Copies of this chain bind each other. A is one copy, B any other.
Amino acid sequence: MSNLYTLENEVFSALIFYGTLVLIKTLLMAIWTSYYRTKHLSVWSREDAVMFAPNDPAKQKAMMAASHPQVERVRRAHLNDLENVVPFVVMALLYVGINPAAATALWHFRIFFAARVLHSLIYVNSVPQPFRGVAFLTGLAVTMSMAYQMIRAVY
């Protein structure tokens, strides 16, 4: 079988595009968390409180006292990405190896990317259910579909 892990393979080159985008999206959750930490003056580590309020021990203590609900919310969205996005991209790397039809593979990558962007926006902005659930399950269904195709291909 010829080499599938090359830019000439449309599926691999689409994975480089969508895999990179969705992982960058995941990394940016850390920046979004920092934004809310700064806005709500809520940090975890003494050295961070000292940086924000160098000569004000009372303020430092207040900053570390309790986590702000909005900070916790964006952190949960970030953790949900670690639980779902990273396994997806790793599985997609294996998926390239079973040589799926390009159109099938590309729709998997696109739908997953859209579902996860929506998931984060919905979560961080407290959009009522069932929207977040639907975005989560859409991403999971795409991952399960790739898994099913892979198990069938090698079993």
Binding site for B on A (CB under 8 A): 1-8, 12-17, 19-21, 23-24, 26-27, 29-30, 44-48, 50-51, 72-73, 76, 78, 82-84, 86-87, 89-91, 93-94, 97-98, 123, 126-130, 132, 140, 143-144, 147, 150-151, 153-155
Contacts and interface: CB of A to CB of B under 8 A. Distances in A.
A126 to B, nearest CB: 6
Contacts of A155: 17
Q: How many copies does the complex hold?
A: 3
Contacts of A26: 83, 87
A51 B15 contact: no
Nearest to A14: B154
Contacts of A17: 150-151, 154-155
A58 B41 CA distance: 29
Q: Is the interface of A mostly helix, strand, loop or mixed?
A: helix
Among A12, A14, A86, find the residue whose CB has the most chain B CB atoms closer than 10 A: A86
A56 B20 CA distance: 43
A97 to B, nearest CB: 6
A27 to B, nearest CB: 6
Contact of A94 (B15, B45, B84): B15
B86 A20 contact: no
A144 B97 CA distance: 25
Contacts of A73: 45
Contacts of A144: 24, 27
A30 B83 contact: yes
Given A126-B45, A144-B24, A151-B17, A1 B8 contact: yes
